[in-house]
Amino acid sequence: MLAMATYHHGDLRPALVRAAQKLLEKAGPEALSLREVARRAGVSHNAPYRHFSGREALLAALAAEGFRRLGEALAATTGRAMGEAYVRFALEHPQLFRLMFGGRLRFARHRPLAEAAAQPYEALLGAFRAQPAIGDPEKAAAAAWALVHGLAHLLLDGHFARQAADPAAFAGDVIGAVRFASRPA
């Protein structure tokens, strides 16, 4: 009996996270219900409360994981490829991206989330600091983040459907058309 000493699950928490990740990409953040996650993990609707303080805490865990993965994807690239990697991440995980940037999560209430959420900007800032030609790397990094973030959002929402037959290529074009030439005046 030692082999199944775990009570029904033993590792319920990761099982809940996996079920939630699948449900998230299928139904979106708004439709992700704790009860459905529990159902998919094979436990009662109320077992998740042993591992998460509530629905928002589970969503925060998913979002934090997303920020970590986005940070890694960016850190693996430089220059223009960084921007393209950012947009690609959004296009590949649309609902996760919406969860991360949907404005619904209270970052201040979930410290690991707040820490993970700072990674994309840090990665961009590091890249701009490595370019001595840039006068104000903080402003340039902010502008670059805003550009790729807006691109990702507008592409996901279909606002460039007419202009962008191939969203990733369109993103590359737009990114290439912009100069962050903020040398000190």
The binding site for DNA (CB under 7 A) comprises: 7-10, 12, 32-36, 43-47, 49-51, 54-56
Taking CB under 8 A as the binding criterion, the range among 16-24, 35-43, 48-56, 131-139 that sits at the site for a copy of itself is 131-139
Query: Which CB atom, from 65 or from 136, has the smaller least distance to a copy of itself?
Result: 136
Query: Which CB atom, from 47 or from 154, has the smaller least distance to DNA?
Result: 47
Binding mask 166-185 for a copy of itself (x = CB under 8 A): ----x--xx--xxxxxx---
> Rounded to the nearest whole angstrom, what is the least distance from the CB of residue 122 to a copy of itself in the complex?
12
175 contacts 84 by C-beta, under 8 angstroms: yes
80: partner contacted, choices a copy of itself, DNA, none (Cβ within 5-8 A by kind): none
> Rounded to the nearest whole angstrom, what is the least distance from the CB of residue 23 to a copy of itself in the complex?
16
Nearest by Cα to 23 from 53, 50, 48? 48
Alpha helices for 28-166 (secondary structure H): 34-41, 55-75, 80-92, 94-101, 111-117, 119-129, 137-156
142: partner contacted, choices DNA, a copy of itself, none (Cβ within 5-8 A by kind): a copy of itself
126 binds a copy of itself (CB under 8 A): no
> Who contacts 176 (Cβ-Cβ below 8 Å, separation ≥6)?
80
Residue written as token pair 């737009």: 174
145: partner contacted, choices a copy of itself, DNA, none (Cβ within 5-8 A by kind): a copy of itself
Tokens of 49: 């409360």
Taking CB under 8 A as the binding criterion, the range among 9-17, 48-56, 69-77, 149-157 that sits at the site for a copy of itself is 149-157
150 binds a copy of itself (CB under 8 A): yes
For residue 137, what are the CA distances in angstroms to 141, 164, 179, 181?
6, 30, 13, 10
Nearest by Cα to 60 from 82, 83, 34, 41? 34
